[in-house]
Chains A and B, each alone.
Chain A
Amino acid sequence: MRVLVTKLAPYAVFVGVLLLVPAVFTRVPFFTMANAVQMGILAIATLGLVLLAGFAGQISIGQAAFYGIGAYSSAILTTRAGMPPLGGVVVGAVLCGLAAYLVGSFIFRVRGHYLALATLAFGLMLGNIARQLEITGGASGIVDIPQLALGPLIITGDLRYYYLVAAVLLVVIVLARNLVNSAFGRSLRALGDSEIAAASSGVDLARHKRVVFVVAAVFASVAGSLYAHWVTFVDYHTLDLLLSIQLLIMATVGGLRTVWGAPVGAFLVLTLSQAAQELLPRLSSNIGGEFEIAVFGLALILVLLFLPSGVAGGVLGLLKRRRRTAPRVPTDAS
């Protein structure tokens, strides 16, 4: 019983926070429910990156490519092939997984800097192609994507959409946490710490990297689909380099070595961006909201230098230190 409680406690806290969000976000003038939906969607995509870059140590500056594959699959399948939206989400995720498997089976020939550049080039290439092809609507994109519906129930309004996104976020967090604490996850962390040591203990590097790459891509794809059905519009900006970088910032600020880093990072970075858009124009009349990018860059540098395990990582570290007085039990990675 005690074990069950300690196992479920983090989820209980998280569900509590997710349920509190509408109460707070609808009352505080600063936030809207649209912010909350956006945070949830980006947290899902960031979670994939936390697994890939944080746990397995394989950096990707091309996650927006998979987000884009999801968004465009949803858009094309529902508007051109008449598929129901939910079908678009699922088929998009499968297609994206296949694409990631294909790319993953040769992209890991390179590591470190080369991997960063290869994923970057892949993302940019896809973004450029999406802008040119006819099937993706060229530069004008695809409009009138149907809203998401569960059977006859069409999910309209930011509040309802938030509950849907929050539910998906909870599911992927549970999945990710179980993955991380499984034997597979331990091999993943070993490989993130030292590829040589992991390989000599019998970890199949290529397979592990490929699998985590596919998982991260599928998470990004689901997030992209959710985004497409929410704003009912996609264009090539959806898979912009800036999104890849934003996801990387969220993962880093939140914490690369804990699954909670994803929601914390998405919340903090979007709050910061919102604050920058509200406050910067007040400082000087010729500063518009688009200068949030400076705030992003500085926040990223500060977190990396002074809080290398990210905000969620730092908080978890504090909690663990306080628990030290209690008899030590082998702790899982959270």
Chain B
Amino acid sequence: MSDNLQFIVTGLATGSVYALVGLGIVLVHQVTGIINFAQGEFVMVGALTFALLNEKGLGLVPAALSALAITVVVGVLVERLAIAPARKSTIERLIILTIGASIAIQGITLVVIGTSPHFASAFTAGAPYRIGGVVILRQYLWVFAVTALAVVTLWYFLTRTLTGKAMRAAAMNRDAARLVAVSPSRMSLLAFVLAALLGAIGGIVLAPLQAPSAGIGIALGLKGFTAAVLGGLNSPTGAVAGGLLIGVIESVAAGYLPSGYKDAIAFGILFLVLLIRPNGLLRRASSVRV
């Protein structure tokens, strides 16, 4: 029993990071209608910058702030250089564009930083807590707290501030938003900035748990898609729930099956959900009318 509990706790920790990735994907999708295949790379840039600076002896806060800043710059560059000029393209082209952005970020990181992983120390040193046979790393608590804070702040921003409401308006109807002086182009940029921030936050809390290298973005992005799709692609709450769910399923499955099947299970779930309940687990399916 304590085995299962342990798997669940570990799963919730990685699931929190997936939730943050999924949240970024949902946000960009809502505002721009694009699925951003580069979201996982934002996590990678955030995690790697943080770990690298941390290794160089920079403290927690300055390293984290620099990682956030650099990731936001990457997010802005992606939006301005690749997405904004192609606003009018078809969906297939936009998908291919974000894939191009994703591998470009990965490749440039490889050129600048190299292939080797880097190590960040845990936010607070000390032995893990033990509650009835379940080991809880101190970093897990940081992951939970930071994720919760990020989710609540995002919720507050989207529902209680004027800019946040303008962003949701642009997501609902671009033309109507433009009529009331909301610029969809600015909102698209803002969505990418927020997505980069969310990705970087996920990367920073993840870095002490899993030494990041330039290649981790793809897998994280894919888990984020799974989280977002489980929640229905349009629901921030759904993405968070989906992320935690995927983290737990993956962790429990890895406990009972050969570890190689861990990823196959996550992608199997993504495939099945897309085909059976493309509107997410919680929503009623609405059929496509042609």
Instruction: State the A residues within 8 Å of B (CB).
Output: 53, 57, 59, 61, 106-107, 109-114, 116-118, 120-122, 124-125, 128-129, 131-132, 139, 195-196, 199, 205, 241, 245, 248-249, 252, 256, 280, 286-287, 290-298, 300-301, 304-305, 308
**Docked-complex contact B93 and A298, CB < 8 angstroms:** no
Whole-angstrom CA separation of A119 from B186 in the bound complex: 32
**Docked-complex contact A297 and B275, CB < 8 angstroms:** no
A216 CB, nearest partner CB in chain B, Å = 14
* Residues A128 and B106 in contact in the complex (CB < 8 Å), given A118-B275, A308-B89: no
**Docked-complex contact A110 and B91, CB < 8 angstroms:** no
* Residues A297 and B258 in contact in the complex (CB < 8 Å), given A113-B91, A305-B85: no
Which stretch (B12-20, B97-105, B152-160) binds chain A? B97-105
Whole-angstrom CA separation of A300 from B86 in the bound complex: 13
The reply on B264 being an interface residue by CB < 8 A is yes
**Docked-complex contact B99 and A111, CB < 8 angstroms:** no
Q: Give 14 new A-B contacts, CB below 8 A, not counting A59-B91, A121-B226, A132-B258.
A: A53-B92, A114-B229, A124-B267, A195-B290, A199-B290, A256-B92, A280-B111, A295-B107, A296-B100, A297-B101, A298-B100, A301-B82, A304-B96, A304-B97
Q: Nearest CB to that of A200 among chain B residues?
A: B290
Whole-angstrom CA separation of A53 from B35 in the bound complex: 17
Whole-angstrom CA separation of A106 from B274 in the bound complex: 10
Whole-angstrom CA separation of A304 from B93 in the bound complex: 7
Secondary structure of the B contact surface, majority rule: helix
Pick the residue among A121, A196, A205 that contacts B274 (CB under 8 A): A121
B279 CB, nearest partner CB in chain A, Å = 10
Listed by A's residue number, 28 A-B pairs whose Cβ atoms lie within 8 Å are: A61-B99, A113-B29, A117-B270, A120-B222, A121-B268, A121-B274, A125-B267, A125-B268, A128-B263, A129-B264, A132-B260, A195-B290, A245-B99, A248-B99, A249-B100, A291-B107, A294-B107, A297-B100, A297-B101, A297-B104, A297-B107, A300-B96, A301-B97, A301-B100, A304-B86, A304-B89, A304-B100, A305-B82
A66 CB, nearest partner CB in chain B, Å = 15
Residues of B within 8 A of A112 (CB): 91
**Interface size (B, Cβ < 8 Å)?**
48
Pick the residue among A121, A195, A256 that contacts B267 (CB under 8 A): A121
Whole-angstrom CA separation of A111 from B85 in the bound complex: 24
**Docked-complex contact B290 and A114, CB < 8 angstroms:** no
The reply on B218 being an interface residue by CB < 8 A is yes
Whole-angstrom CA separation of A125 from B273 in the bound complex: 14
Whole-angstrom CA separation of A252 from B108 in the bound complex: 21
B231 CB, nearest partner CB in chain A, Å = 13
Max chain B Cβ within 10 angstroms of own Cβ: one of A57, A106, A301: A301
